[in-house]
C-alpha cells in the first residue's frame, strides 16, 4: 500500500510529504520510502495560525474558516505532489496543525473529509484524541515509529527531535519505550528572532554565537517553570512556550545575549533529561540540527553521548514526521493499535486516527 504522510510541524514554515510503500501489516519493517518532497506554507495561512497560536484566542468563525482553508490548501498540495511525481497514492495520513494541546484536550486543525473528497483518496487524520480518551497525553506520537522501526537488540539509544518543541524517545534494552517533550526547541528562538531582528530564525545559530549565555537567568527560568519539574509521561506546546514566555528573556537587554541564552535553554532542558537514562547514542532530527550553536553546545555539555544525524538510520531527519503519519495511517487503516502507552500514559493500546472514505 502506498501511503502519503503529511507534516506541517509546530514552526508552521513548510509542508513535508513522504510517500511510503508499506508491504506487510504484520511486519512493519518491510517498507520503502519512495518519494520525499517539501512545499512552502501559504503565507496568509501562516499569519492566521501564528495569530491564533500566540494569542490563544480567536472567534469561532475565524477558526472554522481557517480549518476549511487549511484543509483545502493541503488537498491542493497533495494533488500537486501526485501530478509532479506521477505516482499512485492509496491512502493519506495527515496530522493537521496543532492550535492547542493541553492536559484535558487537544485541537489540530485539518478536516480529513475535505482532503479525501478533493483528492479522491481515503484520508486518516486526528491522531491524538483516542489516546487521550484512555488517559494518555496524546503525545509524543513519534515514539511509535521509534519503537517499531528503530529499536534494536543489544542497543541503548535515544532519538531527539528539535522542532518547535523538543522531544526525546528512550529505547533501553529490556525496558518499555519512554518518550516525552523536554521543552522548547526552536519556537522561542524563532519568536525572538522575529521580534528583535526581523528574521524568521537564527541562521546556523550565528546570532547566538555572538552573545553571552546568562546561566543564572536560565536557572531561574527553569526553576520557575512547573513543566520542567513534572515527571513523564508529559507533553507541551506553544500554549506554554509562546511569545509571552519568550518575552521573559527581554530582561537580558543585549539582543545577542538574549538569543544566546534562549538557545541555551533548549540545550539545558534537553541535556538534563537525556542524562537520566542509560544510553550511548542519540539520533537527532528536526530543524534544530541546522542550528550550529545548539549542536555544538549539546556535544560540549554531553561528551558521554554520541550525537548522530538521524539520516544515518535511513530515515531522513526532515521527513521523519511525514513518514510517521504515513505509518500511523497505514496501521490505523489496518486496525493495528498504534499508540505507545508507556510513553503517553494511556491505560491501554488503541487505534489512533479517524478515517474519511471516498466513494
CATH entry, 2-136+318-356, from 3.30.420.40, 3.30.70.141, 3.30.70.360, 3.40.50.2300: 3.30.420.40
CB atoms within 10 A of CB 247: 13
Within 13 Å of residue 79, how many CA atoms lie on the same side as its CB?
A: 13
Check: pTM over 0.85? Answer yes or no. Answer: yes
Domain locations in the chain as residue ranges: 2-136+318-356, 143-313
Domain 143-313 in CATH 1.10.12.10? The answer is no
- 215-223 and 255-274 helices cross at what angle (nearest 10)? 60
Q: What is the largest CA-CA distance in the chain?
A: 61
Q: Which ranges of 225-319 would DSSP assign to H, the alpha helix?
A: 243-246, 255-274, 292-301
4 φ/ψ angles, rounded to the nearest 5 degrees: -95, 120
Examine domains 2-136+318-356 and 143-313 and report if their fold is the same. yes
Local confidence pLDDT in tens for the 359 residues of the chain: 999 999 997 677 789 999 999 999 988 999 999 999 999 999 899 989 988 887 777 889 999 999 999 999 999 999 999 999 999 999 999 999 998 888 899 999 999 999 999 999 999 999 999 999 999 999 999 999 999 999 999 999 999 999 999 999 999 999 999 999 999 999 999 999 999 999 989 999 999 999 999 999 999 999 999 999 999 999 998 889 999 999 999 999 999 999 999 999 999 999 999 999 999 999 999 989 999 999 999 999 999 999 999 999 999 999 999 999 999 999 999 999 999 999 999 999 999 999 999 98
Amino acid at each position: 500500500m502506498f501511503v502519503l504522510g503529511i507534516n506541517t510541524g509546530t514552526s508552521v514554515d513548510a509542508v513535508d510529504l513522504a510517500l511510503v510503500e508499506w508491504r506487510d501489516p504484520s511486519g512493519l519493517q518491510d517498507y520503502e520510502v519512495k518519494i520525499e518532497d517539501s512545499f512552502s506554507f501559504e503565507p496568509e495561512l501562516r499569519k492566521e495560525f501564528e495569530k491564533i497560536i500566540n494569542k490563544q484566542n480567536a472567534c469561532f468563525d475565524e477558526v472554522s474558516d481557517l480549518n476549511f482553508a487549511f484543509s483545502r490548501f493541503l488537498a491542493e498540495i497533495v494533488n500537486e505532489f501526485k501530478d509532479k511525481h506521477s505516482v499512485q497514492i492509496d491512502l493519506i495520513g495527515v496530522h493537521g496543525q496543532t492550535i492547542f494541546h493541553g492536559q484535558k484536550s487537544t485541537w489540530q486543525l485539518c478536516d480529513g473529509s475535505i482532503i479525501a473528497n478533493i483528492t479522491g483518496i481515503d484520508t486518516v487524520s486526528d491522531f491524538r484524541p483516542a489516546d487521550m480518551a484512555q488517559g494518555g497525553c496524546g503525545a509524543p506520537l513519534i515514539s511509535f515509529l521509534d519503537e517499531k522501526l528503530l529499536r534494536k537488540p543489544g542497543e541503548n539509544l535515544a532519538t531527539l527531535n528539535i522542532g518547535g518543541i523538543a522531544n526525546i524517545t528512550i529505547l533501553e534494552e529490556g525496558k518499555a519505550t519512554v518518550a516525552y517533550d523536554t521543552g522548547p526547541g526552536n519556537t522561542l528562538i524563532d519568536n525572538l528572532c522575529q521580534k528583535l531582528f526581523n528574521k524568521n530564525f537564527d541562521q546556523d545559530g550565528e546570532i547566538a554565537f555572538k552573545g553571552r549565555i546568562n546561566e543564572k537567568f536560565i536557572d531561574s527560568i527553569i526553576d520557575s517553570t512547573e513543566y520542567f519539574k513534572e515527571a513523564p509521561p508529559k507533553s507541551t506546546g506553544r500554549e506554554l512556550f509562546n511569545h509571552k514566555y519568550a518575552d521573559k528573556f527581554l530582561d537580558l537587554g543585549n539582543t545577542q545575549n538574549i538569543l544566546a541564552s534562549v538557545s541555551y535553554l533548549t540545550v539545558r532542558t534537553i541535556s538534563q533529561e537525556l542524562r537520566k537514562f542509560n544510553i550511548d547514542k542519540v539520533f537527532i532530527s528536526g530543524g534544530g540540527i541546522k542550528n550550529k550553536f545548539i549542536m555544538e553546545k549539546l556535544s560540549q555539555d554531553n561528551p558521554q553521548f554520541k550525537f548522530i544525524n538521524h539520516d544515518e538510520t535511513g530515515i531522513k531527519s526532515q521527513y521523519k514526521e511525514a513518514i510517521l503519519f504515513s505509518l500511523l495511517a497505514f496501521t490505523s487503516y489496518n486496525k493495528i493499535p498504534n499508540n505507545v502507552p508507556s510513553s503517553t500514559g494511556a491505560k491501554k493500546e488503541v487505534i489512533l486516527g479517524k478515517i474519511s472514505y471516498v466513494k
